[in-house]
């Protein structure tokens, strides 16, 4: 894919708008097909760094069910980089420093 991406206003195309809104709401790509052939893939643009040159929004903070959240705090180290092991203490110090 070279050059600029073509943008199409679908606000007056109800069926295509409905499909695009479905993709945005589900946060899941959708494959469009004709007969038995895959023709195109629609992916949600919100929160995704797009290589298509479109305007995107920054993603939201992780939710409680985000799989990446399970790795937070797993690493350990000694010295100034021991944040994973002593994160509660560092958070308490930072909070106290701003509320003195």
Domain boundaries, the chain: 8-58, 65-100
With the CA atoms of 53, 56, 62 and 66 taken in that order, what torsion angle do they form, in degrees rounded to the nearest 10? -50
Q: What does the pLDDT look like over 49-70, one tens digit per residue?
A: 444 555 545 566 667 777 777 7
pTM for this entry: 0.43
Query: What is the rounded distance in angstroms from the CA atom of residue 65 to the CA atom of residue 11?
Result: 34
% of the chain exceeding 70 in pLDDT? 68
Q: What does the pLDDT look like over 72-96, one tens digit per residue?
A: 767 666 666 666 677 788 788 888 8
Number of CB atoms found within 10 A of residue 40's CB: 9
């Amino acid at each position: 894919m070279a050059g600029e991406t073509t943008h199409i206003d679908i606000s007056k195309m109800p069926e295509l708008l409905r499909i695009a809104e479905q993709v945005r709401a589900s946060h899941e790509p959708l494959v469009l097909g004709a007969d038995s052939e895959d023709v195109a893939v629609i992916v949600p643009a919100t929160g995704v760094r797009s290589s298509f040159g479109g305007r995107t929004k920054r993603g939201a903070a992780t939710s409680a069910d985000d799989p990446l959240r399970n790795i937070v705090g797993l690493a350990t180290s000694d010295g100034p980089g021991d944040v994973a092991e002593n994160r509660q203490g560092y958070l308490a110090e930072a909070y106290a420093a701003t509320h003195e």
